[in-house]
Amino acid sequence: MPKLTIIAFDGTPYDFDVQNGSTVMENAVRNSVPGVEAECGGACACATCHVYVDEAWSATVGAPEAMEEDMLDFAYDVKPTSRLSCQIKMSDRLDGLVVHVPERQA
């Protein structure tokens, strides 16, 4: 079971043991992490599940695919480490992943 840490905008860390195959967004919503709205339910069609992947994890998580990249144009304050959390699937490779919630969603 990989571990996932989601750090809310106020700096509060939320730590979880998560299922392989679950997305970062699903875990955020299930545990009521503030600031992850996920209006489209994970269809890569809203950009309200925007997070910043921690610098230390950025290379491992990798870049968004074209569809996610297009949708990120609608997110607020996009940075090089920006991803849509519904498009990050947890796996043993991502054990210990840390992501940060932005100040607000678009």
Verify binding: residue 6, ligand FES, rule CB under 6 A. no
**Taking Cα atoms as reference points, which of 10, 30, 9, 11 lies closest to residue 76?**
9
Site string for ligand FES, 68-97 (x = CB under 6 A): ---x------------x-x-----------
**Shortest Cβ 44–ligand FES spacing (Å):** 5
Decide if 47 contacts 61 (C-beta within 8 A).
no
Site string for ligand FES, 23-62 (x = CB under 6 A): --x------------xxx-xxxxxxxx-------------
Q: How many residues form the binding site for ligand FES (CB under 6 A)?
A: 15
Q: What are phi and psi of 51, to 5 degrees?
A: -140, 165
The CA dihedral of 15, 89, 79, 54, to the nearest 10 degrees, is 40
Decide if 105 contacts 47 (C-beta within 8 A).
yes
Binding residues for ligand FES (CB under 6 A): 25, 38-40, 42-49, 71, 84, 86
